Structure 1
Amino acid sequence: MSDNYDKLVTDLLIIGGGPGGYIAAIYGAKHGLNVTLVEKDTLGGTCLNVGCIPTKALVKSAEVCQIIRNSEEFGVICEGDLNVDMEKVINRKDEVKDRLVGGVEFLMKKNKIQVLKGEASFLSNKSVIVNGDRSTNIEFKDVIIATGSRISKINIPGIGLPFVMNSTEALSSTELPSSITIVGGGVIGMEFAFIYRNLGVEVNVIEYMDRLLTMVDKDVSREIKKACRKAGIVVVNNAKVLRIESNDKGLANVIYEDKKGEQTVESEKVLIAIGREPNMENLAIENTDVLLNDNGRGIAVNEQMKTNIEHIYGIGDVTNIIQLAHVASHQGIVAVDNILGKQRTIDYKAIPNVIFTSPEIATVGLTEEQCIEQELDYTVSKVSYLSNGKALTMRQTEGFIKLIKDNTNSKILGCSIIGADASSLISTLTLAISSGLTEEDLRDTIFPHPTTSEVIQEVVFGLGIGSLSS
């Protein structure tokens, strides 16, 4: 290696400036560590730049569009055509993103965290080289790998055609298509399906599995498919995409195979939403003794977020445990606590997950299918939004809340919500599970009226004497 590089020694090196990396950096700095963070792109990672936050900005624009479209139901008459200025939609998204990224940059400076722009590659178990404007050799006492994930590569003939895009490209597109085919019925695919549909686009979803959102309770999968039908989103399950072609009209033909044989759907655009995979590109992990997961996808860590090398940690999507920003942030705090000698472990039993479809979906803990697989003794209560006063005022009575308790100790095992305010309501059940609260503890809790939180009260009563609204 040439001597034409800078040298740096740091207590804690963090590779990756996403929600896991920057939270770990701030937490470490506040505990007196000398922290250096390396980020090759923009601080904030996928979540702030091309993931969670930008999509939620589009979700809100689409929601406003849908409210205006249905305004007569509330006695508000909006005359004239409804027009969507996609350039302004994208500009607003960028304003939100830039403000949050700026906030992260401010926190780095405030907490005296040295940020290097570039790509870090391991030289050994104790050092990396950062290739940026000027190469920097960094020696560290401890390192946290937080390089996140990247869009999964998929081999579909025609995927390189100009009308095919991935989620990152969709978030920057200022052209609103008249129609779109989405390949993949997971979280990314379904959020975009409702974004586009609420903006007035014809939407088709092609999913390889037998149901949408296979990670959620089957009842929730059925309910979101019902919501798709109501919204006019065409869903095809048990379908394998064979190829993508351009037809004589210059539009996309997505050719897929299902139980009926080979089928074709035409659309102006195609969105590939297959998922994400751990990002270890150019990390040169092979120059260390760090072990990977059994399938080679992601860095293997224990409950302290340690790899097999005492001073090397991994957090977030690169570990391929749970690909959620808030999980990465919590893992970062756990990792730093262990660096500080606190001997802390992470518990994944109460991880909330939110999917911003219409209606929203939120889950925590076990699904009923998981309870059956684990042969648990459990009771289920399920209550719809139909009798909830606040939901009625908003004309958002679709959906339900499903709660599962352990019959051996009355503790809450899991909750699935699909309906209004699901993203906010799930925090109550997350706290219940993480704190070991029982059915009785929740039954003794007073919920404000009139709010959608009353569905929690109803579903808890359903575990015993039955819902008070039935």
Structure 2
Amino acid sequence: MLQHFDLIVIGAGPGGYVAAIRAAQKGKKVAIIEKSSLGGTCLNVGCIPSKTFLQHSEWIENIKKANFHGISAEVQEIHYEKLVERKNKVVSTLAHGIEHLLQKNNITLIKGEATILKSMIVMVNNQEFKSKDVILATGSRPFVPPIKGLHNVAYYTTDTFFNMKEQPKELIIIGGGVIGIELAFAMAPLGTKVTVIEAADDILLTEDDEARTIIKKKMNQLEITYYTKAQIVEVTRNEVLLDQLKVPYTHLLVATGRKANIDIANALHLELDENQRFIKVNRNYLTSKNHVYAIGDVIGGYQLAHAASKEGLVAVAAILNESHSALNQEEIPRAVYTHPEIASFGLNEEQAKDKGYNVLTKKMTFKTNGRAIAMDETVGFVKLVTEKSNHEILGAVVVGANATELLNQILAVKHSEGRIEELCSLIYGHPNLSETIGETAESMLFKAIHE
């Protein structure tokens, strides 16, 4: 029997399940289809597992710091299997939370792989479903480059890395982007010898130049070896061969980006972007086919969980013919959860100048911040990019402890159409890391007190 719904969402990641819940909250009959695990890449093999492991490494670093400052403590042994067990519990807790929300909102969860027929009938496990509207939130999978010998050796991708039961002795990470560098920071403090191999001119090329310098210095302190502009000649069972160098490994991770899952899009003959990699959508995330929307990794842009969630909300608002604002790409926060963290949004100085702005940029470090000194977390800075005449906030970078949380204070002011004056006039608690935000803003209008 053909089941009918108002909306079918294909993919239960952070874009899909959020869209499904919002539509259900608005009184729509909703089904969500998931072939793997609730929460998608982010919850199961991405954001959450990596941040859990990064927390483990931060505990190790804090123990070393405590020893240096007079608190004697010793790490006698690392039970890696217990770290994996904790990661599994974190993931399970959040997955159960999503399942509860779906049940609470009377959303039909269908497990299995979906295909869409020409008649817009959705097939799962030989069952047929019909819906007025469909949202494709099918996510992405790891991209594995054609490296000689790679297919002959055992290697991990970011989809399989967190299933590892034993701690690597020597880990090579091919890829020096955000994911690769975060995992390097997650494993090195545990005692794993980590080597990062990057083909580009530098690691973390999407990040601020000064932020990269700080991270590379910290990598040296953690004894993380990294090679840039590297050409991999071949991979063997225990070595990666570069031009003039053989790098040994016990475990190999390929973290070279992700590839959109566009099988359903191709089956529907949806229009793709100019590079034929992602589904082309309009500002409401409608594809080239009426009543078919797409969000998240399959449309490119910022392949981030929180971006996908917002895209899902915009798509649902469009389906319901509700008034809504388009997603502002310059207000999407970006983060690298290294130690120190990197957080940013909007335009950097060069991008702002290219767009014709009269740019004023200011940076202040945490070196004179009372809380940072007390925490022994003085490495890092706040950088504001503004329009010189009207003081509009164009972008920001925060590097330091809790940077990913601090950035939201600046972003909230920008989102509320505030300017540098609003950042200056806020009363910041003392001692607090966020005082440096106010100091940076003050230094743009007049001389800051602690400058």
Please report the TM-score for the alignment, with normalisation by the length of structure 1. 0.92
State which drifts further: 379-388 or 167-176. Answer: 167-176
Please point out which of 323, 326, 330 is paired with 2:303: 323
State which drifts further: 444-453 or 373-382. Answer: 373-382
Gap runs ≥5 in structure 2: none
Identity of aligned residues (%): 36
Going from structure 1 to structure 2, the CA distance change for 1:465 and 1:310 (only over 3 Å counts) comes to same
State the alpha-carbon separation in 2 of the partners of residues 464 and 408 from structure 1.
11
Alignment of 1:50-449 (within 5 A): 50-79=45-74, 81-124=75-118, 126-130=120-124, 132=125, 135-246=126-237, 252-257=238-243, 262-281=244-263, 283=264, 285-344=265-324, 345-449=326-430
State the alpha-carbon separation in 2 of the partners of residues 382 and 210 from structure 1.
25
SS at match of 2:352: helix
Residue 172 of structure 1: CA displacement? 1.5
State which drifts further: 448-457 or 369-378. Answer: 369-378
Contact 1:217 1:368 in 2 (8 A): no
Going from structure 1 to structure 2, the CA distance change for 1:266 and 1:369 (only over 3 Å counts) comes to farther
Residue 102 of structure 1: CA displacement? 0.4
Describe the superposition over 1:254-293 as per-residue Cα deviations: whole angstroms up to 9, x where unpaired: 1124xxxx32222222211101111124x2x344352111
Contact 1:11 1:33 in 2 (8 A): yes
SS at match of 1:64: helix
State the alpha-carbon separation in 2 of the partners of residues 417 and 430 from structure 1.
11
Q: For residue 78 of structure 1, what is the amino acid of its counterpart?
A: A
Cα RMSD (Å): 1.5
Going from structure 1 to structure 2, the CA distance change for 1:436 and 1:157 (only over 3 Å counts) comes to same
Contact 2:184 2:224 in 1 (8 A): yes
Number of matched pairs: 450
Contact 1:385 1:391 in 2 (8 A): yes
Describe the superposition over 1:198-217 as per-residue Cα deviations: whole angstroms up to 9, x where unpaired: 11212111111112211112
State which drifts further: 89-98 or 195-204. Answer: 195-204
State the alpha-carbon separation in 2 of the partners of residues 393 and 101 from structure 1.
37
Alignment of 1:8-19 (within 5 A): 8-19=3-14
State the alpha-carbon separation in 2 of the partners of residues 321 and 200 from structure 1.
35
Residue 371 of structure 1: CA displacement? 2.0
SS at match of 1:142: strand
Contact 2:144 2:254 in 1 (8 A): no
Please report the TM-score for the alignment, with normalisation by the length of structure 2. 0.96
Any runs of at least 4 consecutive aligned residues in structure 1 with deviations exceeding 4 A, and if so which? none
Matched, 1:25 2:20: yes
State the alpha-carbon separation in 2 of the partners of residues 467 and 342 from structure 1.
45
Q: For residue 181 of structure 2, what is the amino acid of its counterpart?
A: M
Q: For residue 252 of structure 2, what is the amino acid of its counterpart?
A: V
Residue 92 of structure 1: CA displacement? 0.1
